[in-house]
Chains A and B, each alone.
Chain A
Amino acid sequence: MPEDPPAIEVSHLVKAYAGVTAVNDISFKVARGEIIGFLGPNGAGKSTTMRILTGYLPATAGEVRICGLSVHEHPEEVKRQVGYMPENNPLPEDMRVSEYLYFRGRLKEVPRRMLGPRLDEVLELCDLKRVRHKIIGKLSKGFRQRVGIAEAILAEPPVIIMDEPTIGLDPHQILIVRDLIASLRGRMTVLISSHILPEIEMTCDRVLIINGGRVVAAGAPDQLRREIIGRATYTAELAGDPGALPAVLAGVEPSLRIAEMGEADAAGFRRYTFAADRHDELGEALLRVLAGGPAFRVRSLGRTHASLEDVFLAATRRSWDVVDPARNRDPK
């Protein structure tokens, strides 16, 4: 049996306008059911790429396929496969929520007899039932965002593209939107761009970082941590002779070294940061050596994980070293 084509397949995509190359030879694949975070600084080309994926903007060169269909050759068919929530979530101010969703459902060719039950289901899923008869222009930002998400998932398309779905939301609303997106895992392929990196880390299976119109990193957050940050770091609060520490550390792992050392407090404890080139866990061995001898007293020891923000900053900083396109195409 032939395998289903990837949900999104972008190869050598280029978009140039007004003398600016907004997207410069981007290639990646997204498997069906995956949730992908699309990251990049402002002006990196995220929104342009998303607009090309939806068929709203034509590409200058390259090919985009959604569920195996070429966006260039079958734009209308592709639009049936994609639910899209644009940046800033533009909505008509003078329509009621249910009226708007009904209209969008009709445009998205949801059969009339199925539209009512589906509308109820989406309103329930997005917690919009109590505002279904309200005018959109009078809704709070959180409700408006949820109306945008409800609209994107209304026709149950296999691919959902959301440009900054959590922008301007309070932490409670972010939590609701995060749960909502997580509930789509496995059923729909979701591509989300956001600047709220902890959100992306919690929600997404993989992230794709672009800068200057090029893919600069792609992979699961842990994989990117290893590849981009490259080292493991540990923090410890120790009392003892700092001069004796390098030798002890080298005994555990030759690449383990002191990255930072704080001032001693009243009890003689200093805060240390150690760095190692190896990525596997050294905490237990380190604790055994430090606590086992009389030279040091240990108050705390732990491994620190680089956040996605660190990965993002490091990746965009070294953005000129474009990641091997062959690896970017691996779905997972």
Chain B
Amino acid sequence: MKHFPTLLGHEIRMLLVNPGTYIAAVLFLAVMGFVFTGILETYNAAPQETPPAAVFFQVFFIPVLFMVPLLTMKCLAEERRLGTIETLLTTPVTTTEVVLGKYGAAYALYLCMWGSTAGLFYIFQRFVGDRHLTDTGPIVGGYLFIAVSGLLFIALGVLASALSRSQSVAGILCFTLLFGLIVGGNYLSTAAWLDRVGFLPLRSAVEYTMIFEHLGDFTRGVVDARQLLFYASGTVVALILSVLSVEAKLLHS
């Protein structure tokens, strides 16, 4: 892993000099600001039981479904399309270092973008004195969920990028994987056929992977080790598959 810091630094630098990064960041902040304003208007109209932070993080899937494909679709697909992966892998770096470098940079940008939404809560806290509304517990829990779940989401994006040399195919594949993971679990949990005796293990597996349930736990301050294990193991599996995918494509190139 000697070359990982060089690769990570290079990838972050390339993201920072790319105007697309700033356009994506501005759009992200605009959407999240719009969502935040909507939530505040709801609270202004009628009192609510849940703190606004919990409601804010409930819509995490909107930016995740669009931003994660945008952040990751280029990383390996573009290297393969341009052929620069060949020059990269004929230096003393390993495929694992290349994949981790790209993953690390995309994850760092993902965290920075979400981190910038902390400004919304800061402004809110400055102008609203109500301690109930500005409780830091759900905010910290929400950001912790974003950081932990982001590990898996970005890893899925990198995997999608490793599977195709077309950025658009990688983007669509990433969107599909994330949609299946985030929305699919919720949809399956409502299926009546899962209540049959033979499917009970499957039902518990589906409940184990329900992302919205995880979010609820995090914002209530419950950090379940099983959930952490789910994201950590999913991330490791997705990254191993990404490395294998890049190497398998070399074997058949």
Chain B residues with CB below 8 A from A94, complex form: 14, 17-18
Q: A58 contacts B89, CB within 8 Å?
A: no
Q: Closest approach, in angstroms, between the C-beta of B203 and any C-beta of chain A?
A: 44
Q: A76 contacts B87, CB within 8 Å?
A: no
Interface flag for A91 (CB, 8 Å) = yes
- Which B69-119 residues have a C-beta within 8 angstroms of A? 82-84, 86-94
Chain A residues with CB below 8 A from B18, complex form: 94
CA distance A174 to B253 in the complex (A): 30
Given A86-B83, A91-B84, A92-B82, A57 and B253 touching (CB < 8 A)?
A: yes
Interface flag for A79 (CB, 8 Å) = yes
Interface flag for B45 (CB, 8 Å) = no
Q: Closest approach, in angstroms, between the C-beta of A51 and any C-beta of chain B?
A: 8
Q: B10 contacts A103, CB within 8 Å?
A: yes
Given A18-B252, A56-B250, A86-B83, A79 and B90 touching (CB < 8 A)?
A: yes
Q: B90 contacts A82, CB within 8 Å?
A: yes
A106-114, A234-242, A270-278, A309-317: which lies at the interface:
A106-114
Interface flag for A84 (CB, 8 Å) = yes
CA distance A58 to B95 in the complex (A): 14
Q: B83 contacts A79, CB within 8 Å?
A: no
CA distance A207 to B253 in the complex (A): 27
Q: A90 contacts B91, CB within 8 Å?
A: no
Given A17-B251, A95-B14, A79 and B86 touching (CB < 8 A)?
A: no
Chain A residues with CB below 8 A from B82, complex form: 90, 92-93
CA distance A108 to B3 in the complex (A): 9
Q: B87 contacts A86, CB within 8 Å?
A: yes
Q: A90 contacts B10, CB within 8 Å?
A: no
Interface flag for B58 (CB, 8 Å) = no
Interface flag for B6 (CB, 8 Å) = yes
Interface flag for A54 (CB, 8 Å) = yes
CA distance A80 to B65 in the complex (A): 41
Q: B84 contacts A76, CB within 8 Å?
A: no
19 further contact pairs, Cβ within 8 A, besides A18-B252, A107-B91? A56-B90, A57-B250, A57-B253, A76-B94, A77-B92, A79-B92, A80-B92, A84-B87, A86-B83, A88-B83, A90-B87, A93-B82, A94-B18, A95-B14, A103-B6, A103-B10, A104-B91, A106-B6, A109-B92
Question: Could you list 19 examples of A-B contacts with CB < 8 Å?
Answer: A17-B251, A56-B86, A56-B89, A56-B250, A57-B250, A58-B251, A76-B92, A76-B94, A77-B92, A88-B83, A90-B86, A91-B87, A93-B82, A94-B18, A104-B91, A107-B3, A107-B7, A107-B91, A108-B91
- Give the interface of B toward A (CB within 8 A): 2-3, 6-7, 10, 14, 17-18, 82-84, 86-94, 250-253
- Shortest Cβ-Cβ A-B pairs, 6 listed: A90-B83, A107-B91, A54-B90, A84-B90, A79-B92, A106-B6
